[in-house]
Amino acid sequence: MKKSELPTKLCPVCERPFTWRKKWQRDWENVKYCSRRCAGNKGKQDKELV
């Protein structure tokens, strides 16, 4: 499969698209964030808007 054919999702924190990775193969349905950094900043994004 070509890289351009892999499924993508949009990260809710940084709002950038990220592509499927082999390490997410079994849990792709539950992956929400593109990185650990974004997963750690998930609450800070809401506080900056207030």
Note down the domain range covering 41. Answer: 3-49
**What is the number of structural domains in the chain?**
1
Banded pLDDT at 49 (limits 50, 70, 90): low
pTM: 0.72
Other C-beta atoms closer than 10 Å to the C-beta of 11 total 17
Banded pLDDT at 1 (limits 50, 70, 90): confident
Phi, psi of 8 (to 5 degrees): -130, 160
pLDDT per position as a tens digit, 11-48 = 999 999 999 999 999 999 999 999 999 999 877 665 55
The DSSP letter of residue 15 is: -
Phi, psi of 28 (to 5 degrees): -60, -35
CA pair distance 17, 41, nearest whole angstrom: 17
Q: State both tokens at 26.
A: 């079994």
